[in-house]
Amino acid sequence: MNNGETRRVAVVGANRIPFARSNTAYFELSNMTMLTDTLRGLVQKYNLQGLLLGEVVGGAVMKHSRDWNLVRESVLSSGLHPNTPAYDVQQACGTGLEAAILVANKIALGQIEVGIACGTDTTSDAPIAASRGMQRGLMAVNAARTRSDKLRAGLSLLNPSHLMPELPARGEPRTGKSMGEHAQITAHRFGITRFAQDEIALASHLNLAKAYEAGFFEDLVMPYHGLTRDNNLRPDASAEGMARLKPAFERGTGTITAANASTFTDGASAVLLASEEWAKKQGLPILAYLTAGEVAAVDFVDEREGLLMAGAYAVPRMLAKRKLALQDFDFYEIHEAFAAVVLCTMAAWESPAFCKDKLGLDAPLGSIDRAKLNVKGSSIATGHPFAATGARIVATLAKIIDEAGGGRGLISICAAGGQGVTAILEK
């Protein structure tokens, strides 16, 4: 469906609200409210009022039934032309980056000129469902035709067991284990120490704090509901303080703690993508180009593969297609769902056995320069509103590249269900 030669896709700009720890500043807000306000901020920032865009793509992981057409409804209240198409996607924590890849592909193929990738999530407003018994009873009442039938169906609702709600699941459906439990198993397998994880976590907080103090986020993050920066940020974090925390998922020998893992977070983000021609016509800057994307999945059920290790597979595929080495990057953005995942991913690329047995390579991919990793902080410090993380990372990396006067950046995001979404930005 190519309407012409493949075109370069520009990252033009972005907007997000400060991310907030669950049950704090955004406790009363919904996905719809946060996403609509974030899109409205993007529209105002880049003078998009009334413009008809090619499409807006995004989503949320924690969705109520009322959110079934979330992105389209947000677009209708954003200030964009109401004829702008929009649709929802959901790929767990990879949602925002997958949305960016989808928009970028249509721009590259000449199908659209400009689009927005976005995402939102709130664990403060997580959906709590009626029990199966209550749900079936209410449906029976609704379907009953006579008053006596409705009364008979309604009496079934008096069963006390039906009054217990179904709380959001915290584990993978196929294993019953939480993400943290899976990450802990993988950390043991790769021999990742508690000290190494705390180092990653501390760097995340210190790098994010330094970036805020330098004004890096002034044109990326808009003030919102009393916040001007992510309220999970701990600029006074210390290695000593982190070392005092107890393991979160395994007593005694566990190495993952509340300090070296991302927290439940509320927030929303959006990134504006366009063809070069459209950006220049609008007089907008080109921060970087989104030049590649790759998605992978692993079978994690029997623990032969780590739940959050698919990025270790997706990146080598992407590098091979672009004829690049792992070291051919100036910046690396590896999503900090857990510090352990970052370290396990890098350990896999450094491992001759993993690269030979799992990736079919003759030699390991090798190591990366840690000074180039998550240089403005990442999910441990910012927080991690699942579907919003991808656009946050794309925006941050694009601005890093622009401020550096050019370069190449690698993104890797792990996701539930044993998936990973990766991309390359460059200029």
The domain segmentation of the chain, as residue ranges, is: 179-216+291-426
Confidence tier at 4 by pLDDT (50, 70, 90): low
Residue 275 in 3-state DSSP?
Answer: strand
The C-alpha angle with vertex 422 and arms to 419 and 427, in degrees rounded to 5, equals: 175
Confidence tier at 3 by pLDDT (50, 70, 90): low
Residue 137, pLDDT above cutoff 80: no
- Domain 179-216+291-426 architecture: 3-Layer(aba) Sandwich (3.40)
Segment among 104-118, 163-177, 281-295 with least mean pLDDT: 163-177
Segment among 132-141, 189-198, 268-277 with least mean pLDDT: 132-141
Residue 205, pLDDT above cutoff 70: yes
Cβ neighbourhood burial of 253 (10 Å; 0-12, 13-18, 19+): exposed
How many CA atoms lie less than 13 Å away from 296 in the CB half-sphere? 24
Backbone angles phi, psi at 333, to 5 degrees: -120, 95
Backbone angles phi, psi at 288, to 5 degrees: -165, 175
User: What's the whole-number mean pLDDT along residues 247-260?
Assistant: 95
The per-residue pLDDT for range 51-85, each reduced to its tens digit, is 999 999 999 999 988 899 999 999 999 999 999 99
Which contiguous run of DSSP H or E holds residue 402? helix 389-403
Residue 405, pLDDT above cutoff 90: yes
User: What's the whole-number mean pLDDT along residues 1-12?
Assistant: 83
- What residues form DSSP beta bridges with 360? none
The span from the CA of 166 to the CA of 356, in Å, is 44
Q: Would you please indicate which residues are annotated as catalytic (active-site) residues?
A: 93, 384, 414
State the CB neighbour count (10 A cutoff) for residue 224. 21
pLDDT above 90 as % of the chain? 86
Torsion of CA 275, 281, 282, 287, to 10 degrees: 50
Confidence tier at 2 by pLDDT (50, 70, 90): low
User: What's the whole-number mean pLDDT along residues 108-131?
Assistant: 90
Six-digit token string for 331: 């910046």
The per-residue pLDDT for range 301-322, each reduced to its tens digit, is 988 899 999 999 999 999 999 9
- What residues form DSSP beta bridges with 9? 275
